[in-house]
């Protein structure tokens, strides 16, 4: 797992912000604490300084009252030699150093503008005669506390035997002491180092802890999430993010996984749909092509039918003349004479023309069906009644097996009769006057659809392979000239197609042929 470590990452930004705030907060806190402590320390130093100066004054008091200059000088020197005491000076009221721990200073007169004088004296204002202190940088690395304490005129002073000072003089001089703050400075410096160390350590610990917490709580899961999203974006919909936590990030991961599986489901559905769509489109295209071919075929038949109707009307009248006058002529010749036979040929040929016209008219009728619920068995029986007594059928064995439970169909009964008669006559022709014709009806189911089927089986000469594909074409016939018009099967095919049915053939040359006519069964409505 690769986690982004730069400061632009969420964790980096959080750590940086919180760390800065922590450092700034601790610094401020420790700065205030430090300043407060320093102030306290300096105040106690000042207090000590005042006590020290008081001590100097009190130690020299007696010697002053008794005007023992040497004793005062000795005392000041002794005190000035103590540790931490840098200098002790006693000034008189004219600014002259009268006594000093450092003998070199004795007798020097301070200029009125010196910092020490300015502590009490200003250029114009009244004299400030209260004790004062200040801290200044010493010649060494540490600071120096400078304490100045006036020596006030007291009754002991102006009532003493020496009468050194008049009573009106308020301040007789002052004691000044320079005390080293080396220890204090050292202590403060040490404290500063410690505080800095604490702040740094504190910040490092807090930042480290934050780092670990944020890393585990935010950065790692977020990286897992973004990696997961990239994988999903690149098409891997099986990817699962393993963050098993009850918090918001856990919920986010769960939501992501749910979204992912939904996405996968939707994608699969879409793909399935796409695949089946292609198949469905293909099926529909084939169906449309089939329908188109049927339409073209039907249109061909219909235009042929219209032409046939026109031709029939035009030709039937002259045929009437030929037949009528043929018969009139026949009466004029004795039977058996050559002329009689010639006229008979004329009448026969006119009748043949008439039959061709009737065949053509079948087309006109095939395209306009008047359909109603029809029992195929009844139509077959009436068709059989027409042919049964014809001479052509005398030597043919007729087997009829009709299923009494045969489903009804929606059909034009006269057209169906035309079809069945045509099939029976064709079967008889194929048998050439001998053999057997078997007619069977039955219910069949194909691809979940119910059909009523009629089979016409003959023991005739069969159909050659090369003829099979042409037998439904108009004017195609294998019968001798004058026997068939080549329209019977074309009309049959047209009628059956118009009824939504189909004709199939099983044939074997020399053994016979079976024609199967299938029509959609009418759904029972009771």
Between 285 and 320, name the residue whose CB sits nearer to another protein.
Answer: 320
Cβ neighbors of 55 (< 8 A, separation 6 or more) are: 79
Per CB under 8 A, 312 contacts another protein: yes
Per CB under 8 A, 328 contacts another protein: yes
Element (H, E) at 261: helix 248-330
Q: Among 414, 440, 444, which residue's Cα sits nearest to residue 427? A: 440
Other CB atoms within 10 A of residue 88 CB = 28
Kindly give the interhelix angle for 413-431 and 376-388, rounded to the nearest 10 degrees. Answer: 50
Per CB under 8 A, contacts with another protein among 233-262 are: none
Beta bridge partners of 401: 440
- Helix ranges restricted to H, 215-247: 220-233
Between 217 and 315, name the residue whose CB sits nearer to another protein.
Answer: 315
Judge whether 34 and 41 are in contact, CB under 8 Å: no
58, 317, 525, 526: which one contacts another protein (CB under 8 A)?
317
37, 191, 257, 354: which one contacts another protein (CB under 8 A)?
354
318, 395, 505, 509: which one contacts another protein (CB under 8 A)?
318
41, 117, 322, 398: which one contacts another protein (CB under 8 A)?
322
Q: How far is the CB of 362 from another protein (least distance, A)?
A: 12
Q: Which stretch binds another protein (CB under 8 A): 105-113, 133-141, 187-195, 359-367?
A: 359-367
Per CB under 8 A, 320 contacts another protein: yes
Per CB under 8 A, 313 contacts another protein: yes
Which residue is it, tokens 């139509």? 379
Per CB under 8 A, 332 contacts another protein: no
Per CB under 8 A, 372 contacts another protein: no
Give the binding-site size for another protein (rule: CB under 8 A).
Answer: 24
350, 425, 454, 471: which one contacts another protein (CB under 8 A)?
350
Q: How far is the CB of 372 from another protein (least distance, A)?
A: 13
Q: Any idea what the Cα angle at residue 253 is, between residues 251 and 257, rounded to 5°?
A: 115
Judge whether 291 and 283 are in contact, CB under 8 Å: no
Beta bridge partners of 457: 438, 514
Give the span between the Cα atoms of 421 and 406, in whole angstroms.
Answer: 20
Give the span between the Cα atoms of 236 and 257, in whole angstroms.
Answer: 12
Q: Which stretch binds another protein (CB under 8 A): 76-84, 193-201, 309-317, 428-436?
A: 309-317
Per CB under 8 A, 50 contacts another protein: no
Between 147 and 369, name the residue whose CB sits nearer to another protein.
Answer: 369
Cβ neighbors of 393 (< 8 A, separation 6 or more) are: 387, 428
Residue 379 token pair: 């139509």
Between 110 and 309, name the residue whose CB sits nearer to another protein.
Answer: 309
Between 130 and 317, name the residue whose CB sits nearer to another protein.
Answer: 317
Between 317 and 525, name the residue whose CB sits nearer to another protein.
Answer: 317
Q: Any idea what the Cα angle at residue 91 is, between residues 86 and 96, rounded to 5°?
A: 110
Between 357 and 517, name the residue whose CB sits nearer to another protein.
Answer: 357
Give the span between the Cα atoms of 466 and 508, in whole angstroms.
Answer: 13
Per CB under 8 A, 124 contacts another protein: no
Other CB atoms within 10 A of residue 230 CB = 11
Residue 52's Cβ-count burial label (10 Å; 0-12, 13-18, 19+) is buried
Q: Which stretch binds another protein (CB under 8 A): 44-52, 283-291, 362-370, 398-406?
A: 362-370
Per CB under 8 A, 268 contacts another protein: no
Say how many residues make up the chain: 526
Per CB under 8 A, 340 contacts another protein: no
Judge whether 309 and 361 are in contact, CB under 8 Å: yes
Pairing of strands 409-411, 396-401: unpaired
Give the span between the Cα atoms of 42 and 185, in whole angstroms.
Answer: 10
Q: How far is the CB of 270 from another protein (least distance, A)?
A: 55
Between 243 and 369, name the residue whose CB sits nearer to another protein.
Answer: 369
Q: Among 138, 145, 163, 143, which residue's Cα sits nearest to residue 153? A: 163
79, 106, 135, 309: which one contacts another protein (CB under 8 A)?
309
Q: Which stretch binds another protein (CB under 8 A): 149-157, 256-264, 358-366, 461-469?
A: 358-366
CA 267 to chain centre: 11
Between 297 and 358, name the residue whose CB sits nearer to another protein.
Answer: 358
Per CB under 8 A, 499 contacts another protein: no
Q: Which stretch binds another protein (CB under 8 A): 79-87, 298-306, 364-372, 377-385?
A: 364-372
Per CB under 8 A, 355 contacts another protein: no
Per CB under 8 A, 365 contacts another protein: yes
Q: Which stretch binds another protein (CB under 8 A): 48-56, 140-148, 311-319, 449-457?
A: 311-319
Per CB under 8 A, contacts with another protein among 398-417 are: 414
Give the span between the Cα atoms of 406 and 519, in whole angstroms.
Answer: 11
Q: What are phi and psi of 151, to 5 degrees?
A: -105, 105
Give the span between the Cα atoms of 228 and 91, in whole angstroms.
Answer: 88
Per CB under 8 A, 325 contacts another protein: yes
How close are the terminal C-alpha atoms of the chain, in Å? 73
Per CB under 8 A, 367 contacts another protein: no
Q: How far is the CB of 379 from another protein (least distance, A)?
A: 15
Between 190 and 320, name the residue whose CB sits nearer to another protein.
Answer: 320
Which residues contact another protein (rule: CB under 8 A)?
A: 309, 312-313, 315-325, 327-328, 350, 354, 357, 361, 364-365, 370, 414
């Amino acid at each position: 797992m690769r986690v982004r470590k730069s400061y632009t990452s969420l964790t980096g930004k959080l750590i940086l912000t919180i760390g800065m705030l922590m450092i700034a907060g601790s610094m401020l806190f420790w700065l205030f604490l430090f300043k407060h402590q320093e102030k306290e320390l300096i105040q106690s130093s000042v207090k000590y300084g005042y006590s020290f100066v008081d001590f100097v004054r009190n130690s020299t008091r007696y010697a002053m009252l008794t005007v023992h200059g040497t004793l005062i000088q000795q005392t000041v020197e002794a005190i000035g030699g103590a540790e931490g005491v840098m200098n002790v000076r006693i000034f008189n009221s004219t600014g002259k150093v009268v006594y000093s721990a450092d003998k070199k200073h004795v007798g020097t007169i301070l200029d009125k503008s010196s910092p020490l004088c300015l502590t009490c004296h200003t250029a114009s204002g009244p004299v400030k005669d209260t004790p004062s202190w200040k801290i200044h940088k010493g010649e060494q690395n540490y600071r120096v506390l400078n304490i100045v304490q006036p020596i006030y005129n007291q009754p002991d002073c102006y009532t003493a035997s020496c009468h050194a000072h008049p009573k009106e003089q308020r301040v007789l001089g002052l004691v000044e002491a320079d005390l080293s703050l080396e220890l204090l400075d050292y202590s403060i410096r040490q404290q500063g180092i410690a505080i800095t160390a604490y702040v740094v350590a504190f910040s490092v610990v807090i930042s480290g802890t934050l780092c670990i917490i944020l890393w585990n709580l935010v950065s790692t899961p977020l990286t897992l999430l973004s990696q997961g999203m990239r994988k999903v974006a690149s098409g891997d919909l099986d990817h699962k993010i393993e963050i098993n936590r009850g918090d918001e990030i856990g919920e986010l991961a769960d939501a992501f996984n749910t979204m992912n599986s939904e996405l996968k489901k939707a994608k699969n559905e879409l793909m399935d749909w796409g695949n089946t769509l292609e198949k469905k489109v293909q099926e529909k295209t084939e169906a449309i092509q089939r329908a188109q071919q049927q339409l073209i075929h039907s249109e061909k038949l219909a235009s042929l039918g219209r032409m046939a109707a026109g031709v029939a009307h035009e030709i039937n009248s002259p045929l009437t003349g030929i037949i009528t006058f043929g018969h009139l002529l026949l009466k004029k010749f004795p039977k058996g004479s050559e002329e009689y036979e010639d006229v008979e040929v004329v009448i026969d040929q006119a009748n043949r023309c008439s039959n061709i016209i009737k065949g053509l008219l079948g087309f006109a009728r095939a395209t306009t069906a008047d359909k109603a619920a029809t029992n195929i068995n009844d139509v077959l029986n009436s068709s059989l009644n027409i042919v049964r007594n014809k001479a052509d059928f005398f030597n043919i064995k007729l087997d009829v097996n009709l299923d009494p439970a045969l489903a009804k169909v929606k059909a034009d009964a006269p057209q169906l009769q035309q079809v069945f008669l045509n099939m029976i006559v064709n079967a008889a022709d194929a048998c050439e006057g001998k053999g057997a014709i078997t007619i069977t009806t039955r219910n069949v189911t194909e691809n979940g659809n119910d059909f009523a089927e009629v089979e016409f089986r003959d023991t005739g000469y069969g159909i050659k392979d090369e003829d099979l594909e042409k037998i439904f074409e108009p004017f195609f016939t294998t019968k001798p000239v004058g026997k068939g018009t080549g329209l019977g099967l074309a009309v049959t095919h047209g009628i059956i197609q118009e009824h939504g049915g189909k004709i199939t053939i099983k044939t074997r040359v020399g053994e016979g042929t079976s024609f199967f006519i299938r029509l959609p069964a009418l759904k029972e409505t009771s």
